[in-house]
Amino acid sequence: MTIQNILLIGNWDLCLSIINALLPSTAQRDSVRHLTVLTNTSQSLRLPHHVSKDAVEHRKSDFSPGSLQSALAGQDLVISTIAGGDSKQQNQIIDAAVAAGVKRFIPHEFDHDTMNRAIQRRIVKYAGRAKVVDHLHKVSKSNPGFEWAAAATGCTLDKSLISGDLGFDFEWQSATIHGIGTEKFAASSLQRVGQVVARMVEHWDAIRNQYIYAAGVLTSANEVLGSAEKAMQREWTVGNYDVEECIREGEARIQRGYPDSGMVLLERSILYDDALHADEAFEMRSANATLQLAAESVESIVTRAYHDVQQHDKPGCGCSS
Q: Do the Cβ atoms of 3 and 204 come closer than 8 Å?
A: yes
Q: Quick check: 292 pLDDT over 60?
A: yes
Which range is least confidently modeled, 14-23, 97-106, 133-142, 265-274? 14-23
- The pLDDT > 70 percentage for the chain reads 93
Mean pLDDT over 56-75 rounds to 94
User: CA-based angle 94:98:101, to the nearest 5?
Assistant: 140
Which residues on neighbouring strands pair with residue 7, listed in sequence order? 36, 78
pLDDT, tens digit, for every residue of 68-124? 999 999 999 999 998 767 889 999 999 999 999 999 999 999 999 999 999 999 999
Specify the CATH number for the domain of residue 112. 3.40.50.720
Mean pLDDT over 142-153 rounds to 96
The most confident of the ranges 31-35, 51-55, 82-86, 261-265 is 261-265
Residue 161 falls inside a structural domain = no
Burial of 45 (0-12, 13-18, 19+ CB in 10 A): middle
- Predicted local distance difference test score (pLDDT) of residue 61: 94
Residue 320 falls inside a structural domain = no
Mean pLDDT of the residues in the chain: 91
Which range is least confidently modeled, 60-64, 105-109, 278-282, 308-312? 308-312
Residue 262 falls inside a structural domain = no
Q: How do beta strands 155-156 and 184-188 pair? A: parallel
Query: Using H for helix, E for strand and C for coil, what is the string for the chain?
Result: CCCCEEEEECCCHHHHHHHHHHCCCHHHHHHCCEEEEEEECCCCCCCCCCCCHHHEEEEEECCCHHHHHHHHCCCCEEEECCCCCCHHHHHHHHHHHHHCCCCEEECCCCCCCCCCHHHHHHCHHHHHHHHHHHHHHHHHHHCCCCEEEEEECCEEHHHHHHHCCCCEECCCCEEEEECCCCCEEEEECHHHHHHHHHHHHHCHHHHCCEEEECCCEEEEHHHHHHHHHHHHCCCCEEEEECHHHHHHHHHHHHHCCCHHHHHHHHHHHHHHCHHHCCCHHHHHCECHHHHCCCCCCHHHHHHHHHHHHHHCCCCCCCCCC
Q: pTM for this one? A: 0.92
- Predicted local distance difference test score (pLDDT) of residue 26: 40
Mean pLDDT over 166-178 rounds to 94
Cα–Cα distance between 305 and 313 in angstroms, integer? 9
- Predicted local distance difference test score (pLDDT) of residue 12: 82
Domain that holds residue 53: 5-153+189-214
Residue 111 falls inside a structural domain = yes
Cα–Cα distance between 231 and 181 in angstroms, integer? 19
Mean pLDDT over 189-196 rounds to 96
Residue 263 falls inside a structural domain = no
- Predicted local distance difference test score (pLDDT) of residue 314: 65
Residue 289 falls inside a structural domain = no
pLDDT, tens digit, for every residue of 202-261? 999 999 999 999 999 999 999 999 999 999 999 999 999 999 999 999 999 999 999 999
Which residues on neighbouring strands pair with residue 61, listed in sequence order? 40
Cα–Cα distance between 313 and 80 in angstroms, integer? 25
- Predicted local distance difference test score (pLDDT) of residue 45: 85
Mean pLDDT over 169-197 rounds to 95
**In b/e form, how buried is each residue of 142-160, taking b as 16+ CB within 10 angstroms?**
eeeebbbbbbbbbbbbbbb
> How many domains does the structure of the chain reveal?
1
Cα–Cα distance between 107 and 319 in angstroms, integer? 23
Cα–Cα distance between 260 and 272 in angstroms, integer? 19
- Predicted local distance difference test score (pLDDT) of residue 27: 41
Residue 42 falls inside a structural domain = yes
Mean pLDDT over 20-46 rounds to 76
Cα–Cα distance between 125 and 122 in angstroms, integer? 9
Amino acid at residue number 132: V
Residue 168 falls inside a structural domain = no
- Predicted local distance difference test score (pLDDT) of residue 30: 44
- Predicted local distance difference test score (pLDDT) of residue 225: 97
For residue 23, give the nearest of 44, 43, 45, 6 by alpha carbon: 6
Neighbours of 275 (CB within 10 A): 7
Mean pLDDT over 41-59 rounds to 84
- Predicted local distance difference test score (pLDDT) of residue 1: 61
